[in-house]
Chain A
Amino acid sequence: MRVVVCCKAVPTWVDNLEYDESNKKINYDGSALVMNESDEAAFEEALFLKKEYGAEVIVLTVGGLTSQEMLYQSLAKGADRVIRVSSEQSDDAAEILAKAIGQLQCDLVLTGVESSDSMTAKTAMLLAEELQLPHAFVVTNIEYDEDQQIMKATSELGQGQYEVLGLPLPSLISVQSTTRPISQASVMKVLQARKKKVESVTLESLGLNEDKNSNAYRIVDLFDPPVNNSCEMIEGNLEEISTVLMRRIADAAR
């Protein structure tokens, strides 16, 4: 079984955001990039399939050189191969991923649900549609049924309800979270991983090009989210804070 996990490297914090109109790109200062949270959950499910069923795990990303560290971390945690499609554009990620996956002959595609930077939650389902694969969305657990050769994906319905979907292979599963413990890579493993190969793919080799700027919409402003002025901020030393807070609790409990 070959599993491709689509992962995005994202910053944990950003500052000084600015929109670069001519390149249709948001520039910012930020942290080093790490694997997006729900992608990490998807990767963990892939490592589970590797451990239980001997799956081959390939981590695939679209990004610049700053995404490379995430790939070394993935190798250190147990990925068999890592591939980076070199591109700074993220709006067409699904199309790029689909082309790259098309060259890989895999049985299962895993993704996260939403990336913390662009927050669109659209790549997974666009990718399923591009690849014409059956899918499951907002999944919290994956099991493989060897007898029936189907993936059993536990998908959230909301309000504590779940449904288990049976998917034939190949298929795509978009993972929301996992109850499996997140793997940690030792420093030694990471150092070893840095000597391994990151396969690099260009957009041209996939038959795509970088400037596909759509004029359908454009960012006109970036601003801080509105502040809730009705939130009473309690300040002071610990004693003052807790006295006021206790009074508020007593009032509200009435």
Chain B
Amino acid sequence: MQPDKENKNIFILAEAKNGELDTLALQMASRARQLADEWGCELNALILGHDLDAPVQQLSDKGFNSIYVVDHEDFEPYHPEIYVNTVTEFMKEQKPSLLLVGYTYLGMELGPILSKRLGTNLLSNCVDITQENDRLFVTRPMFNGDVFSKIEVNELPLIASVQKNYLPVIEGSFLPAKVIAVQPNQQAHDVRAKILSILSPTIEGIDITKADILVSVGRGIGTKENIELARQLAEKLNGTVSGSRPITDMGWLPHECHVGISGRIVRPKIYIALGISGASQHVAGMIDSQYIIAINNDPNAPIFRVADCGIVGDIMEVVPALLETVPQA
């Protein structure tokens, strides 16, 4: 479906943290540029934060007409209300026919509030958004990711939140975008919640981001005692043990061993996932590993979709067998 030629406008909300752009913005930009070309409309970006020079520079030649920048110290640390209020006020003015945000913590929080305040439809957790002939579709997972649903969008404006690492980045050569500084709205600072403190990760002893080989355990490991097996494998391979969120939440491994979007982002040479189903939050934390091995008893586990090599089987059988074949150092 095509919006009125008069009201054409696509926006993406780019995220940056500690001066670093979240690369999801580049993935959204590529797809949004294609849509903007088909709709014959403008593509713009909004970015909020502090110390945004580098992120804005990185966005400048990605096919945007304009990049609106709200750079203010009040945006770091992240205060949800200030952020949401500022974006709301901005979008009320711009009235995008399509707004892409990340299906990130920030986008999950902001999307519904924004849709309510702007009276706009929201489709969240999208892994694809396509224009086919004159029709607009999004695809999104349901039922733990066991099934994808394809949805036809009959009404604009729309806010769609997009999952990371699904839309491809397409290189292109574009004119530099116009960069427009936006003053933060003081009313946006009229907030009810207060930030009391920030807790940063303490890295003492174990730093899983430095390991060449990670042997990572998930719920499929069964019991805390079984982690010993992973530890033996890690030791023999000169690697380190890490785990998915449930494992560190249950205290089976310390929190600094948590791989995932809310834990550590790792890029080892080899990532061995033992009994990890492969929820998107976990995958986002290890997708850039050079070689991914998955061992899981569920042949449909999403982890196999990102693995280079997979075994459907019982960890408690496969790992002991593997331990026997590891050559003695």
Binding site for B on A (CB under 8 A): 11, 13-14, 17, 19, 26, 28, 94, 113-114, 116-126, 128-130, 134-138, 152, 154-168, 171, 176-179, 214-228, 230-234, 238-239, 241-243, 245-246, 248-249, 252-253
Knowing A158-B17, A166-B196, A249-B293 touch, does A231 contact B109 (C-beta < 8 A)?
no
Interface string of B219-232 (1 = CB under 8 A from A): 00000000000000
CA A134 to CA B142, docked complex, whole Å: 29
Q: Which stretch of B2-10, B45-53, B117-125 is in the interface?
A: B117-125
Interface string of B183-199 (1 = CB under 8 A from A): 00000000111111111
CA A2 to CA B20, docked complex, whole Å: 42
Residue of B nearest to A233 (CB): B310
Q: Which stretch of B64-72, B173-181, B298-306 is in the interface?
A: B298-306
Beta-carbon contact of B108 and A225 below 8 Å: no
Q: Least Cβ distance of A24 to chain B in Å?
A: 11
Binding site for A on B (CB under 8 A): 17, 77-78, 80-81, 103-105, 108-113, 115-117, 121-125, 137, 140-155, 191-201, 212-213, 237, 245, 249, 251, 255-256, 258, 261-265, 269-270, 272, 290-291, 293-294, 302, 304-313, 317-318, 321-322, 324-327
Knowing that A129-B113, A161-B199, A171-B193 touch, tell me 7 more A-B residue pairs with CB under 8 angstroms. A134-B192, A136-B80, A136-B193, A166-B193, A218-B154, A246-B322, A253-B212
CA A31 to CA B37, docked complex, whole Å: 45
Beta-carbon contact of A217 and B197 below 8 Å: no
Knowing A156-B262, A225-B148, A245-B293 touch, does A216 contact B121 (C-beta < 8 A)?
yes
CA A158 to CA B194, docked complex, whole Å: 19
Residue of B nearest to A117 (CB): B143
Beta-carbon contact of B322 and A116 below 8 Å: no
Beta-carbon contact of A242 and B155 below 8 Å: no
Beta-carbon contact of A158 and B108 below 8 Å: no
Beta-carbon contact of B263 and A137 below 8 Å: no
Residues from chain B with Cβ under 8 Å of A136 in the complex: 80, 193
Beta-carbon contact of B154 and A215 below 8 Å: yes
CA A123 to CA B213, docked complex, whole Å: 39
Beta-carbon contact of B125 and A121 below 8 Å: yes
Knowing A159-B201, A231-B309, A233-B310 touch, does A223 contact B150 (C-beta < 8 A)?
yes
Beta-carbon contact of B321 and A164 below 8 Å: no
Report the tally of A-B residue pairs with Cβ distances under 8 A: 252
Interface centre among A28, A94, A216, A219 (most CB of B within 10 A): A216
Beta-carbon contact of A224 and B143 below 8 Å: no
Residues from chain B with Cβ under 8 Å of A221 in the complex: 149-150
Beta-carbon contact of B265 and A159 below 8 Å: yes
| Contact pick for A238, options B115, B307, B318, CB 8 Å | B318
Beta-carbon contact of B147 and A224 below 8 Å: yes
Grouping DSSP codes into helix (H, G, I), strand (E, B) and loop, the A interface class, with mixed when no group exceeds half, is mixed
Beta-carbon contact of A119 and B311 below 8 Å: no
Beta-carbon contact of B152 and A126 below 8 Å: no
Residues from chain A with Cβ under 8 Å of B312 in the complex: 233
Residues from chain B with Cβ under 8 Å of A223 in the complex: 147-148, 150
CA A161 to CA B105, docked complex, whole Å: 12
CA A219 to CA B105, docked complex, whole Å: 26
Beta-carbon contact of A216 and B155 below 8 Å: yes
Residues from chain A with Cβ under 8 Å of B122 in the complex: 122
Residue of B nearest to A232 (CB): B309
Q: Least Cβ distance of A253 to chain B in Å?
A: 6
Beta-carbon contact of B262 and A160 below 8 Å: yes
Residues from chain B with Cβ under 8 Å of A214 in the complex: 121
Knowing A242-B324, A246-B325 touch, does A129 contact B116 (C-beta < 8 A)?
yes
| Contact pick for A231, options B80, B245, B305, CB 8 Å | B305
CA A243 to CA B325, docked complex, whole Å: 7
CA A184 to CA B264, docked complex, whole Å: 31
Beta-carbon contact of A158 and B149 below 8 Å: no
Knowing A167-B192, A216-B154, A218-B151 touch, does A246 contact B326 (C-beta < 8 A)?
yes
Beta-carbon contact of A161 and B145 below 8 Å: no
Beta-carbon contact of B293 and A228 below 8 Å: no
Beta-carbon contact of A216 and B153 below 8 Å: yes
Knowing A160-B201, A216-B121 touch, does A168 contact B261 (C-beta < 8 A)?
no
CA A172 to CA B193, docked complex, whole Å: 11
